[in-house]
Amino acid sequence: MSETPRLLRALGGETLDRPPIWFMRQAGRSLPEYRELRTRATDFIAFCHNPEMAAEATLQPMRRFPMDAAIVFADILLIPRALGQEVWFEAGEGPRLGELPDITRMAGEVEASTGRLSAIGETLARVRAELEPERALIGFAGGPWTVATYMIEGRGSNREAARTFAYEHPEKLDALLRVLVDSTARYLIMQARSGAQALKIFESWAEGLAEDVFERIVIGPHRAIIEQVRAAGVTAPFIGFPRGAGALVETYARAVPVEGVALDTQASAELGRRLQAGGKTIQGALDNLLLRAGGPALDARVETLLAQWSGGPYIFNLGHGVMPDTPIAHIARVVERVTGKPAKAVAAE
Amino acid sequence: MSETPRLLRALGGETLDRPPIWFMRQAGRSLPEYRELRTRATDFIAFCHNPEMAAEATLQPMRRFPMDAAIVFADILLIPRALGQEVWFEAGEGPRLGELPDITRMAGEVEASTGRLSAIGETLARVRAELEPERALIGFAGGPWTVATYMIEGRGSNREAARTFAYEHPEKLDALLRVLVDSTARYLIMQARSGAQALKIFESWAEGLAEDVFERIVIGPHRAIIEQVRAAGVTAPFIGFPRGAGALVETYARAVPVEGVALDTQASAELGRRLQAGGKTIQGALDNLLLRAGGPALDARVETLLAQWSGGPYIFNLGHGVMPDTPIAHIARVVERVTGKPAKAVAAE
């Protein structure tokens, strides 16, 4: 058997005897050991910028479950903070951001922003040093549009204000997206040089966009990021996740040179197979609400997903992140079904 | 030129010299004459059940704009109310519903529920009597799943509780959907017999559902409704609107014998053409936020939509409803571009 991590083989286009598996938000609040660790920092942003704590959070699910990949513990809003916008988290309410800084001023902060994110590079280096060689390490960033929605609206929302901004201030939005593309590309290059073996772009709010807008504010920026990362000599494969893009996922897959396309919960079997036939590795798309609910419906759905997509390059994952109140036994059951390996008990239980 | 209304010709599969046009929520808060009319009833539900007022609201946009179709002024939550669940509207907050009644008890109310909705039939008859013969009248109901989400959660929401309910209480949900299918089919039959010439099913919350769940709770109930309506001898064409279904729209179009498929804002040009090639009339998909924003971007997008879909059977419409604060001039401009006819000033302006 190859020593190349299973995740990277799948992203290289191989159809494997069984798909690699990891779960979005596998690290975090669903694990009691994370909830214990989290109490040691008062501030979530400070937690993300502490390589010791963030590396520990990244590794916690790897100790417990036979996941094929770890994803660095960080947040998509570290970039706006590094560019000079205030970011904080209200307990139980999610992120809040200060006023959108002047875009020209932020453009002047792009180079410095990467240095302000160096702790995340250190987290990656620590995790890579501890992780077994057959398990891959994933770096990530938010998609520029998704990050921009938070920067414009100041919080999570229905994105109506940001989508209207895209129509009413197209030049200003394009300028903001350029700053985010440049900062994100540098950040991902730094992550790859620090140990990330695959790079994921989370475009969490790709939903509800008209096709022309989607091409301008999602496809264009993703292409630009990948171009810059490749120009720096980084060869790590990309996974693009245009969540909620619906039928536009196919447009995305054709236009953006990602190796992998992450599919959300509503992906059809047919869509996935068309993407595989088009040369993409697909990832997804188990419903995170079903993972939490468990029971025979979960078992049946796992079999369906394995049956419908294992004939091509496939990474088993959720369609969205693990819900905080998901029973650990449900995660363990699915991971054991896919890998053939049981979960391990850990001290915090 | 045929006397058959342009909308019905399009739904009959004809490719026309120009598409018929109407807008979801063309009646309602975007019109000053509606806002004036609405003050005459204190309660929104009472307003919907008042044929004189509801007919007037239905006709208001027809007097102002050269729309090719009217849609009866009503609400998707009239059905749960007719089945015995309390429904009211909090000003500025949207619908609120009382506790979900016992499903077996509601099943016993199906026949009576149609009688409790007779005012909507009277509204349709009044509108049909006043409307020019070349302009079509559309009846509608909510999709059973969408209505069920409100009945289960008691309000508009992210549907997380309802989607979890679908996994944890599948038999109970199926029983609720059966009651809604039976009540909705009777309601639509009554609407067709009262003057509705086309019937639309608004499945506003089709988004985020896994494929197997979508088949069970959206496709199955829509098929069952259409089967019952056809069994009653009603031949009015159906428009299905699985909003947010993404790539599953194609699965829907193949499985549900609707004549028309309404596409939401993020529909791709390619998806629309594939549906047309598969024998469906398509409807949509102008961004309601762009209609509100206006300007050159709106003009350009209208041209794109006309160019990409006018080669097959097509109904020009929005991807979602008109926003209440949409300038009337923007609506008038788009309708004039599509129909070649100007809007008229009305007294309330």
d(CA B127, nearest CA chain A) in Å = 33
% of chain A at pLDDT higher than 90? 95
Give residue-wise pLDDT tens across range B220-277: 999 999 999 999 999 999 999 999 999 999 999 999 999 999 999 999 999 999 999 9
Of A168, A211, A248, the CB nearest to B293: A168
Query: What count of other Cβ atoms lies within 10 Å of the Cβ of residue A129?
Result: 9
Q: What is the mean pLDDT of residues B270-295?
A: 98
Residue A1 pLDDT greater than 80, yes or no: no
Q: Please report whether residue A347 resides in a domain.
A: no
Sign (positive or negative) of CA dihedral A76, A82, A83, A88 = positive
Whether pLDDT at B349 is above 50: no
Q: Residues B1-7: what's their mean pLDDT?
A: 82
Other beta carbons within 10 Å of B245: 29
Q: Do B211 and A268 touch (CB under 8 A)?
A: yes
Query: Is B303 part of the contact surface with chain A (CB cutoff 8 Å)?
Result: no
User: What residues of B are in contact with residue A264 (Cβ under 8 Å)?
Assistant: 208
Q: Are B200 and B140 in contact (CB under 8 A)?
A: yes
Tell me the per-residue pLDDT of A103-133, one tens digit each, with 9 for 90 and over: 999 999 999 999 999 999 999 999 999 999 9
Q: What is the pLDDT of residue A195?
A: 98
Q: What is the pLDDT of residue A156?
A: 86
CB contact at 8 A, B79 and B45: no
Tell whether the model's pLDDT for residue B348 goes beyond 60.
no
β-partners of residue B284 are B316
Strands B94-97 and A238-242: unpaired
Indicate whether A349 belongs to any domain: no
Terminal-residue alpha carbon distance, chain A: 34
Q: In Å, how far from its chain's centre is CA B222?
A: 14
Are A207 and B244 a contacting pair at CB < 8 A? Answer: yes
Minimal CA separation from A266 to chain B, in Å: 4
Q: How far is CA A233 from the centre of its chain?
A: 22
Subunit contact A163:B247, Cβ cutoff 8 A? no
Whether B202 maps to a domain, the answer reads yes
The residues in B 306-345 lying below 8 A from A, measured between CB atoms, are 319
Give the H or E element holding residue B314: strand B314-318
Reply yes or no on whether the pLDDT at B78 is more than 60.
Answer: yes
A75, A182, A264, A287: the active-site residue: A75
Residue B281 lies in a domain: yes
* Cβ contact A247–B244 (<8 Å): no
CB contact under 8 A, B246 and A251: no
- The active-site residue out of B64, B68, B150, B252 is B150
Q: Which phi and psi angles does B159 have, rounded to 5°?
A: 60, 15
Domain that holds residue A176: 6-339
Confidence of residue A348 (pLDDT cuts 50, 70, 90): low
Contacts of A209 in chain B (CB under 8 A): 265-266
For B181-209, the pLDDT digits (tens) are: 999 999 999 999 999 999 999 999 999 99
> What pLDDT is stored for residue A101 in this prediction?
97
* Average confidence (pLDDT) over A281-308: 98
pLDDT band at A90 (very low <50, low <70, confident <90, very high): confident
Residue B312: give its domain's CATH number. Answer: 3.20.20.210
Q: What is the pLDDT of residue B2?
A: 54
Q: A8-17, B92-101, B274-283 — which is least confidently predicted?
A: B92-101
Please check whether residue B349 lies inside any domain of the structure. no
Catalytic annotation present for B299: no
In a domain, B346, yes or no: no
- Kindly state whether A251 is in contact with chain B, defined as any CB-CB distance less than 8 angstroms: yes
pLDDT the model gives residue A272:
98
Q: What is the largest CA-CA distance in chain A?
A: 55
Catalytic residue status for B38: yes
Q: What are B5-43's pLDDT values in tens digits?
A: 999 999 999 999 999 999 999 999 999 999 999 999 989
A296 in B contact zone (CB under 8 Å): no
A54 interfacial to chain B (CB closer than 8 Å): no
* pLDDT value of position A2: 54
Q: Which of B164, B267, B297 sits opposite A289 (nearest CB)?
A: B164
Mean pLDDT of A131-150: 98
Q: In chain B, how many domains are there?
A: 1
Residues A90-114 have a mean pLDDT of 95
Q: Choose, from A6, A25, A163, A243, the residue flagged as catalytic.
A: A25
Strand locations in chain A (E)? 69-71, 87-90, 94-97, 136-142, 198-203, 238-242, 260-262, 281-286, 314-318
Backbone region of residue A246 per phi and psi (left: phi > 0; alpha: psi in -120 to 50; beta: other values) = left
A348 falls within a domain: no
Q: Is residue B252 part of a domain?
A: yes
Mean pLDDT for chain A overall? 96
Given B247, B265, B286, which is nearest A208 (Cβ)? B265
Residue A240 β-bridge partners: A201, A261
Helix (H, G, I), strand (E, B) or coil at A277: helix
pLDDT in tens, B114-173: 999 999 999 999 999 999 999 999 999 999 999 999 999 999 888 999 999 999 999 999
ipTM at complex level: 0.94
Distance from CA of B284 to the nearest CA of A (A): 11
The answer to whether B297 and A212 are in contact (CB under 8 A) is no
Closest residue, chain A, to B252 (C-alpha): A268
In three-state secondary structure terms, A47 is: helix
Q: Nearest by CB to B210, which of A170, A244, A290?
A: A290
Helices A248-255, A269-277: axis angle to 10 degrees equals: 20
Per residue in A33-77, pLDDT (tens digit) is: 999 999 999 899 999 999 999 999 999 999 999 999 999 999 999
C-alpha distance from B29 to closest chain A C-alpha (Å): 18
Catalytic annotation present for B25: yes
